[in-house]
Structure 1
Amino acid sequence: MHSVTIVEATVSKNLIKNGSSGHVIGIRCTPRNTKEEICYFASITVAADGCKSNIRSDFIPRQVQVKSHFFGLELIDTKMPLKNHGIVILSNRAPVLIYQIGTHETRALVDIQGKPPSQTDGSLKSYMLGTVLPTLPEEVRPSFRKAVEDSKSIRSMPNSFLPPTMNKTPGLILVGDSMNMRHPLTGGGMTVAFNDVVLLRDLLADVEDLNDSDLVLDKLAEFHWRRRSLTSVVNILAQALYSLFAADDENLKVLQKGCFAYFQMGGLCIDHPVGLLSGMLRRPLVLYSHFFAVAFYSIWIMFKSANPLLWPVCILRSFMVFYTACVVILPYIWAEQQC
């Protein structure tokens, strides 16, 4: 576009502010191949510097939660169990996500909870080959082993959660992962980001003077609440599904088993979750109703598969399973309602 100038530069954490009002009025940055810092000024500065934002901490009080990391490998000419499908492999540990990204290339993302093994002493490769490899489908193992053995350094990224926060700083808009993150297992990040861009475009379209900070802040408050119909669904679903897929206690495993059995019933039991996951169905109440339907269905399956003599134990355990379901989803529902 003739009205857009692209400059490649490193932006300083310290944005330029009006000393008396605190308004953000621009940025300091250092262009590539130079050491001289230059400044750009604007009515509104949009910060979209991702999950490792160096700007966020000065404007958002909430802390990023990191419970696991994805370690990525590129598999060459691997044979997929289901062609043209992504697969999630579940075991007694965190999930592994595998999907094709090119004619010959397939990406494998290994989720590791807590502090990951070290790469420098070979612990990470040993973990990949000794712990992760045996859980993979037979046809994937040769290319996975080769990718691990050939890699000099396996790249990683934190799997972060950051609830949305209302933009309250005059002259600044935080978007994308700078402002709001969820576990990337469901791939919902770009869905949320593009939705935010379209919504901001529509809300700011009738603002004739972007220097009118009060009007812009009113629009950003409206943006915060209107985006929830989509983003709360994507955010909560991502966190809840990850909790079930990475089940690390017996109650979560009951919910995990019930979740897949629920999907296998077909009809609305799969159509609605897929619609929610894709961002096509923007109804948080539908998400909540299906989640608790999964919880009750999981309890029913637990009774169905147990010896009738153990039903008294199942009655007691059913309360723990339902409590676990509440612990999984309610904190994220609450986080989405905050400013």
Structure 2
Amino acid sequence: MDMVFMEVCLWTLLGFVLTWTIFHVSNKRKKGAELADAVAEERRDGGADVIIVGAGVGGSALAYALAKDGRRVHVIERDMREPERMMGELMQPGGRFLLSKLGLQDCLEGIDEQIVTGLALYKDGKEAVASFPVEDNNFPYEPSARTFHNGRFVQRLRQKASSLPNVRLEEGTVKSLIEEKGVIKGVTYKTKAGQETTAFAPLTVVCDGSYSNLRRSLNDNTAEVTSYSVGYISKDCRLEEPEKLHIIMSKPSFTMLYQISSTEVRCGFEIFANKIPSISNGEMHTFVKKTIAPQVPPKLQKIFLKGIDEGAHIKVTAAKRMEAALSEKKGVIMLGDAFNMRHPAIASGMMVLMSDILILRGLLQPLRNLGDANKISEVIKSFYVIRKPMSATVNTLGNAFSQALIASTDEAKEAMRQGCYDYLSGGGFGASGLMAVLGGMNPRPISLIYHLCVITLSSIGQLLSPFPSPLRVWHSLRLFGLSFKMLVPHLKAEGVSQMLSGANAAAYRKSYMAATVV
């Protein structure tokens, strides 16, 4: 009797499991079919080839580039009003050139943009100028940068993109990605009217900035907050040398002034997480006046204090660092600060973004149909490798330069800081070469490594002078270790072969930095 009962129970359980499995598989297939039908239906109704989440600098520029190639592009942006940011206010010479390759150079015109020809550096009462090299630079474009209001630039890019009939620019908030068997099929979003709806496309591009709410669903890459940038605008004034970015090697880190329009100057400085004075109770105003302003050279001090005295709106923005990482999911790619961030000290994030867009656009051009998820995955893998000469150079330089700008009582660290100032202020091949790297005019990681090595060796030489005492030898060894720590994490993150290969950099220059406009 017990055996019969057990047999009945086992057969009942087996029947239940089989029934549940059949139901689950059919239900999953049904949902997959419904999703495929929805995608097909949307495509028949003139749906998009590409969905872009975010209409900032990257999303708008990419929408224009892909639409010029005949793609139907649906851009979903949370807020279409002109953004108010204090990041993304400078386009390096290399960035301007890449922007022109995309046919978007006119977006940097007519927004009261200002020409920048180089840096003015200040340290311990001394002043030096480091300019972008004009002659013998092997750069097929005018070697100057531009500063501007980020919001004005973004609005011009949006206007340019929306001027194309195959671009749909919509205000809405993307809530999640629609995924089926590891493939991203589209997005769920809330329209401006508050209605929740969906959009489908073979390729989805996540370009929603450093605070991306979609990044976690694509990979486990997290952004590290390294410091905070504090900034405000002094109005109705003009610098004595408006064509220079003025960088003061102050304490605790750098202070910067630059002309953001014909009558406005951006003033900013870096502070660290455990030392942020409150803006609301006036601590920040006091900190600026008593701690930062006295370190600003007299010829800049009046303008630096003008904004504070006139009650300018002070903004604090986290400076983040995040290595690039590809998602294992198909049918999707991330761009911009949602994908890769470096310290903003060298103001080159938009240049890397323009490079990424140009590369991605070129890789997608031969594909008539974006519906093959496997082919798109191969394109994305190629994109990740091809971008390295520009991205690895900028990421490494941003990290190294930001660390070198931090003031310290440590003799080894201060020697490196002094070495950077001496190298840039010394002129000649070294300064012009490093400025070409900084400006994106020579995106070669090996060139940057060369300059870092020379700065390290010259700094060690200064430490050992006039004679190598045991203490000076010790500080020199520590300085070498500091330099090693600046470089090794990037060799690991970007790949040793990618950082040291001259062939990859040469191929990048030939394909993306030739004089012909794409």
- TM > 0.5 fold call: yes
149, 166, 169: which is aligned to 1:3?
166
Structure 1 CA distance, aligned partners of 2:229 and 2:426? 31
Pair 1:125-2:288 in alignment: no
Structure 2 CA distance, aligned partners of 1:262 and 1:148? 33
Pair 1:53-2:212 in alignment: yes
- Preserved contact between residue 79 and residue 139 of structure 1 (Cα < 8 Å): no
434, 448, 451: which is aligned to 1:290?
451
Pair 1:145-2:305 in alignment: yes
Structure 1 CA distance, aligned partners of 2:226 and 2:448? 24
228, 238, 257: which is aligned to 2:398?
238
- TM (norm. structure 1) is 0.92
Structure 2 CA distance, aligned partners of 1:245 and 1:188? 17
Pair 1:17-2:179 in alignment: yes
The RMSD of aligned alpha carbons is 1.9
Structure 1 CA distance, aligned partners of 2:284 and 2:424? 34
Structure 2 CA distance, aligned partners of 1:92 and 1:80? 22
- Preserved contact between residue 209 and residue 338 of structure 2 (Cα < 8 Å): yes
Structure 1 CA distance, aligned partners of 2:306 and 2:251? 24
Please list the CA deviations of residues 92-148 of structure 1 after superposition, one character each: whole Å capped at 9, or x if unmatched: 311112110111101012211123222222222221111111111223323332312
Going from structure 1 to structure 2, the CA distance change for 1:296 and 1:81 (only over 3 Å counts) comes to farther
Look at both structures and tell me which one has the larger radius of gyration over its CA atoms.
2
- TM (norm. structure 2) is 0.61
Please list the CA deviations of residues 63-86 of structure 1 after superposition, one character each: whole Å capped at 9, or x if unmatched: 211121111110124453533211
Going from structure 1 to structure 2, the CA distance change for 1:263 and 1:141 (only over 3 Å counts) comes to closer
Structure 1 CA distance, aligned partners of 2:487 and 2:246? 24
- Paired residue secondary structure (1:52): coil
- Preserved contact between residue 230 and residue 315 of structure 2 (Cα < 8 Å): yes
| Unmatched runs of 5 consecutive residues or more in structure 2 | 1-163, 499-518
What code does the residue aligned with 2:223 have?
Answer: V
> 1:29, CA displacement in angstroms?
1.8
> 1:153, CA displacement in angstroms?
4.5
**How many pairs align?**
332
Please list the CA deviations of residues 19-75 of structure 1 after superposition, one character each: whole Å capped at 9, or x if unmatched: xx121111122222x111121111111111011111112212122111211111101
- Paired residue secondary structure (1:164): coil
Structure 2 CA distance, aligned partners of 1:210 and 1:332? 33
- Preserved contact between residue 119 and residue 153 of structure 1 (Cα < 8 Å): no
Quick one: percent identity of the two aligned structures?
A: 26
- Paired residue secondary structure (2:485): helix
Pair 1:183-2:343 in alignment: yes
Q: Name 1:260's counterpart in structure 2.
A: 421
**Over 6 Å off, 4+ runs:** none
Structure 1 CA distance, aligned partners of 2:475 and 2:297? 33
- Paired residue secondary structure (1:94): coil
Structure 2 CA distance, aligned partners of 1:82 and 1:169? 50
Q: Name 1:303's counterpart in structure 2.
A: 464
Q: Determine which structure has greater relative contact order: mean sequence separation of CA pairs < 8 Å that are 6+ residues apart, divided by chain length.
A: 2
479, 482, 486: which is aligned to 1:321?
479
312, 315, 334: which is aligned to 2:492?
334
| Unmatched runs of 5 consecutive residues or more in structure 1 | none
